Amino acid sequence: FGINKENVELVEPNTWVKAHITLCISKSPHAEYINPNLIKFLKSKNPAELDADSPKKIFISRRDAPDRLHPREGALCNLYRDQGFDVLELEKISISKQINYFANANEIAGFHGAGLVNMVWCRNTVLVTELFHNSHFQNCYFCLAEALKHRYELVHID
């Protein structure tokens, strides 16, 4: 984002901040509220360029998150891989590389989770498929997809 690392300060949740420039990432207790103007501003800062070698279909894996891992994760990774998706473990990929991957994707899929926030970098023609289980669901990613004018589908996985 062109921000000097020396000028970045991480703060605890629910902390007041006085600054002339603030870039924040937050999850509201009312996660369904998405401020479209802030999302558009963030999207306007997208530094990614078109890259023909980036995956066009991305499945977001949670293989390295055992506390949030779905029992069928392995089978779902294989199913999506068979359909031409690249399976990505985002925690192993730099932020700039993630931005580039998502900016060049035509389709993304994954379980409800923070990795889906990367849809903010996607072009407007992207299809977002959110997988969910009965134990956890909020409509925040649907609202984000709507604000970004992405196509969105929700798939229940037992």
Instruction: Give tens-digit pLDDT for 3-40.
Output: 566 666 777 776 777 776 666 555 555 555 667 777 77
More confident residue, 135 or 94: 94
Task: Give the H or E element holding residue 148.
Answer: helix 140-148
Q: Are 110 and 116 in contact (CB under 8 A)?
A: yes
Label residue 153 by pLDDT band (50, 70, 90): very high
Label residue 66 by pLDDT band (50, 70, 90): low
Amino acid identity for residue 49 in this structure: E
Structure tokens at 133: 């289980």
More confident residue, 157 or 58: 58
- For residue 60, give every residue at least 6 positions away whose Cβ sits within 8 Å of its Cβ, in sequence order, or none: 88, 90, 108, 109, 110, 111, 113, 115, 116, 118
